[in-house]
Structures are given as C-alpha cells and as structure tokens.
Amino acid sequence: MAPFEELIAECGKTWPANLVSALTKPSTAPAVALAALLDYARSGSVSTIPYARLDKGVIHWVSFGGHSRFLLEYGEDLRSWVMQGYGTKGDLQFVQNDFKGRLAHLVHNASPAGYLRWTSDAQALPAILGVLAQMHSLLGSMPDGTSALAPSLHALRFRFVSALRLGEWAVAESVVDEIDRWNLEQAHKTMQMRLRVLGQSGSHARLLEIVDKHHLWALTHPTRVAEAILEAVLHEVLQPLEATLAPSEVCEAIRPWYSKLVSVLPQVAPMSGFAHLFAYVACLDGDGPSVQALLPQLSDPLAAFIRERLGYISAESVARLEPDSIPVASTRIPTDGMNDAPASPGQTFWNTLQVLVRNGTGAALSQQLSELD
C-alpha cells in the first residue's frame, strides 16, 4: 500500500460514521468536503485531513504534501481561513524532524518535506471541513504565481551545438526559441544561431532571405556564420550562373552582389570551396595580386578567364604602382649630405609599406602587414 493510502486508512479508523463515506461515495456535506481534500492530496497538492479523538473531544489535523516552501505558504492560508476561529486550539506547528508515534511516521512517509499539525474542538469538525474545501477551491482557481528559474545559457548552447551535429534541426531551433524567450542573449547573436541552423540544414534560400530582410550583410559574423552565408550564395547565386553563363558573363552578373559580398568575404579564409567566389570579387575589385594567388585553386574555364583578365589587371596595377608623381621606394636611408649607407630591414619595410598604401594595392598590403607577426 502506498504511504498516502496507509495514512488515509489510519486516519479513517477514527472518523465518525458521517465521514466514512468520503472513502467511497460521499453521502453527507462534510463527507463531500473531506473527499475533495483527499482528492487534492492524491493530486500531489498540499492538503489537510483530520485524525479524530472523539473520546477526548479533540481533532488533530495534519497538513502535508509538496515542498517545504509550499507547506509554509499553506500555513499562512490556514492562519487566514481557519486559525482565527472555529474552535482551533494552540498554534500551527511545522514539523520536520520530530516523528514520534505511528501517526507521525505515517505522515513523514507520505510527506518527507515535513507537515503542519494543529488541533480543534470535535464540534467544529464539519465547519472546518467546509471552510477547508472552500479555501482549496478558491486557491485552485488562482493563476500560478510561481516563477521558473531561467535555464543556463551555457547548457542551452551545448544543446544547440549537439543538435547541429546530430542533424536535429527542430531541436536546434527550439533551443534558440528558448534563449529568445528568456532573453538570455543579444538579438543579433540568436539571429546568427538561426542562420547556422538554416545553413547546416541546407535551407539556403531562406537564409539569404533573412540576411536581406534584416540587413545582416555588414554585420560582423563568427566564421561559421559567415561561411554559412557564403555557402548560400554559392548554391543560390553563383552555381546557377556558372551552369549557364561564361565566366566573363558570370563576373558581370554578380556585380549587384559585390557590395554585399565584400563585407562577408574578409571574415573567412579563401579556401577552395569559396575560391570561385573570391576570384570573381577580386576581378571586380581589380585586385591582381589576390587573383593571381587564387589561380592554383581554380580550374578551366574560370582559370583561363582569370589568366586573360590577369594580364589587364597586372598591367593596370603596375601602372598604378609606378606613376611619375610617386617616387619608387628606396632601400637607402636619407643621409642629408653624409655618406650613403644601405637601408636597414626596418626602413625598407616602412618605405615599401608607404608605397603600397598610396597605391591602394590591398592584397600586397595585407601580405606586407602579415610580416609584422
């Protein structure tokens, strides 16, 4: 027999005849009220049942169930509804450790968090049962005022990454929804998490739609998100164009995408998967050194187009690097009339850097700056 049912059976032995029917089919108003209290207890809510000592004219009441905090809140309800009258005796006691006697042990088994005990006159038994039933009915109709604790952002991120690796896209989206609901992360970061889900699930068209709608091209993205955006451009824009057009035509067809792509491309490495995209953008940018560096990763017909285009770009770059108005970088330090001496490596570096900055050669400048490491 369950602990709760053992407690009911023990208390039921002491009830007067007009209450015994509460255990089966209530036939009187007090029995109906007592049956409602038993139902509350069986549902897991805090409730109260009587233990009658009719020979002494006393009723011992026990309130049990739920957590200790709920019991203390229930005690405040009892003080407001019952303890001010109805023949109650003494004060309300909260018991957690003192389990002496058979009844105390039965209550403890049914309510390990503790219980409340109080007494009243036997004559007040029907009235108190009615008041308790009304109190429970009213409290049961009140909205739940408890507030759940916010989940851990670290735990939610772990669930998100796990869902992505397992291909559970719905779970990953639900985690992002949970983060948004609790306002645990900045809006643009949860939006980037949604882009990752769309990218890894292959919803490339939807991803580009969201990026356009929320103007996310210029946003600084984590590498994985930037890669997801460029992957979507490859599938939805570049590959369909390459399947039907010559490289020269593709280069012009993606020109409307240039201003968007130049914000995202620097956030990823020019890996082979994005080499075509980098090459077309570099051609539009007139960046000869960058195009030349990409040639080993390209195949015909794009590589042939790049070689043909490279001659024009390289010549143009050389013309920009050696205009009449800009002197060629010297490897010697000015001596103001003193004997000339070879320039130090540091002076050579800065002289070269100055020329590259003046001429706006992006790829060569990046290479020059990388030598600082």
Can you give the C-alpha Rg of the chain in angstroms? Answer: 40
Identify the top-confidence range among 62-71, 109-118, 142-151, 207-216: 207-216
**β-sheet bridge partners, residue 256:** none
The pLDDT value recorded for residue 4 is 80
The residue written with tokens 């949860």 in the block is: 190
pLDDT-derived band at 308, boundaries 50, 70, 90: confident
Please identify which residue in the block is written with the tokens 């990823």: 268
Tokens of 345: 């490596």
CA dihedral in degrees (219, 220, 221, 227; nearest 10)?
A: 90
Q: Residue 22 pLDDT more than 90?
A: no
Q: Give bridge partners of residue 59 from the DSSP assignment.
A: 52, 120
Tell me what pLDDT residue 230 has: 96
Do residues 115 and 92 make contact, with C-beta atoms less than 8 angstroms apart?
A: no
106 and 6 in contact (C-beta within 8 Å)? yes
Note every long-range contact of 36-41, with CB atoms under 8 Å and residues 24 or more positions apart, other chains counting: 36/133, 36/136, 36/137, 37/129, 37/132, 37/133, 37/136, 38/8, 40/136, 40/140, 41/4, 41/65
Sequence-separated (6 or more) residues with CB below 8 Å from residue 152: none
CA angle at 224 for the pair 232 and 169, rounded to the nearest 5°? 70
What is the pLDDT, as a whole number, of residue 362?
61
Of the listed ranges 51-55, 131-135, 287-291, 347-351, the one predicted with least confidence: 347-351
- Please give the average per-residue pLDDT across 130-142, as a whole number: 87
Q: What percent of the chain has pLDDT over 90?
A: 39
The two structure tokens encoding residue 333: 């330090």
Residue 157 pLDDT class (50, 70, 90 cuts):
very high
Helix (H) or strand (E) holding 3: helix 3-12
Asked whether the beta carbons of 46 and 83 are under 8 A apart, the reply is no
Site of tokens 């929804």: 177
How far apart are the C-alpha atoms of 122 and 60, rounded to whole Å? Answer: 9
Strand 58-64: give its sheet, edge to edge.
47-53, 58-64, 115-121, 88-95
CB atoms within 10 A of CB 230: 22
State how far the alpha carbon of 180 is from the alpha carbons of 120, 156, 194, 318, in Å: 52, 11, 11, 53
pLDDT tens-place string over residues 40-50: 888 888 899 99
Other beta carbons within 10 angstroms of residue 163's beta carbon come to 20
Q: What is the mean pLDDT of residues 221-241?
A: 95
Coil, strand or helix: which one is 52? strand
Whether the pLDDT of residue 7 is over 80: the answer is yes
> What is the rounded CA–CA span in Å between residue 245 and residue 156?
45
Phi/psi of residue 120, each to 5°? -155, 170
Question: Could you tell me if 140 and 83 are in contact, meaning their C-beta atoms sit under 8 angstroms apart?
Answer: no
Q: What are the helix (H) ranges across 49-114?
A: 68-81, 102-110
Length of the chain: 373
pTM over 0.75: no
Q: 368 pLDDT exceeds 60?
A: no
Q: Determine the pLDDT at residue 363.
A: 59
DSSP category for residue 274? G
Question: What is the arithmetic mean of pLDDT over 285-297?
Answer: 82
Q: What is the mean pLDDT of residues 18-37?
A: 87
The rounded distance, in Å, linking the Cα atoms of 226 and 196 is 9
pLDDT at residue 133 above 80? Answer: yes
* Structural tokens at position 164: 């992505």
Pairs from 75-84 (Cβ < 8 Å, separation ≥ 24): 75/116, 77/135, 77/139, 78/48, 78/116, 78/118, 81/131, 81/132, 81/134, 81/135, 82/128, 82/131, 82/132, 82/135, 83/118
Least confident of 96-110, 133-147, 272-286, 351-365: 351-365
